[in-house]
Amino acid sequence: MTFSIVESLKFGWEKTKQHSGLLFQVLLTLFALQVLYAMVSRVLEGSAIGFLAIVALMVAEFVVGVGLTLITLRIAQGKHVEYKDIVPPLQMLWQYALASALAGLIVLGGLILLIVPGIYFALRFSMVRFAVLEGEGVMGSLTKSSLLTQGVKWKLLGFLLIICLVNLLGAILFLVGLLLTIPVTTIAYAHVYQKLHARHRS
């Protein structure tokens, strides 16, 4: 038994309800940064101050995005989480950025060559961000993801398509739905990672 798509989504829903206050705070912080980015880009476009503000907001969005992923992973693991976890340690941030960039370049290379290899690599390295947040390091996270996704890539493809559709539905609902669908699907994703991790240990 690897993981159940339905069970993972139900898990994400239940955990989102249990931690709704914290998760909404984090998401509202992320959305606020995105709104500020749009405003600064429009009002201060072409100025030195605008450029610096945009760079700062991009960094802030990245940090909060990693923080959200870390928080959802810890929720899936049943660990204690707080709002301050929205800012992960510096070492974790640069390792996450580098591991994500490497995985992204591999996937891009596969897509340029042929579409199918790109999809294969995307599935193979789909667990990199969780692995690196657990301290696997940059190259270790790539290796760990490759190991965990062996034999389940078709099922992972189905899962990822479903969570994309769920978030698309959330976006259609005047974006407000994303406040619900993003935490549900991200926790479900982290739960799948935990299931694959448990399968590997056994």
Helix axes 153-172, 5-18, angle to 10 degrees: 50
Q: How far apart are CA 85 and CA 95, in angstroms?
A: 17
CA distances from 178 to 34, 153, 168, 181 (A): 14, 26, 8, 5
Q: Write the DSSP symbol of residue 84.
A: G
**Position of tokens 């690897």?**
2
Number of domains observed in the structure of the chain:
1
pTM for the predicted model, two decimal places: 0.91
Cβ–Cβ under 8 Å, residues 73 and 190: yes
Domain range for residue 172? 5-201
Question: For every one of its 202 residues, what pLDDT tens digit does the chain have, with 9 covering 90 and above?
Answer: 678 999 999 999 999 999 999 999 999 999 999 889 888 888 777 788 878 888 999 999 999 999 999 999 999 999 999 999 999 999 999 999 999 999 999 998 888 877 778 889 999 999 999 999 999 999 999 999 999 999 999 999 999 999 999 999 888 876 678 889 999 999 999 999 999 988 877 5
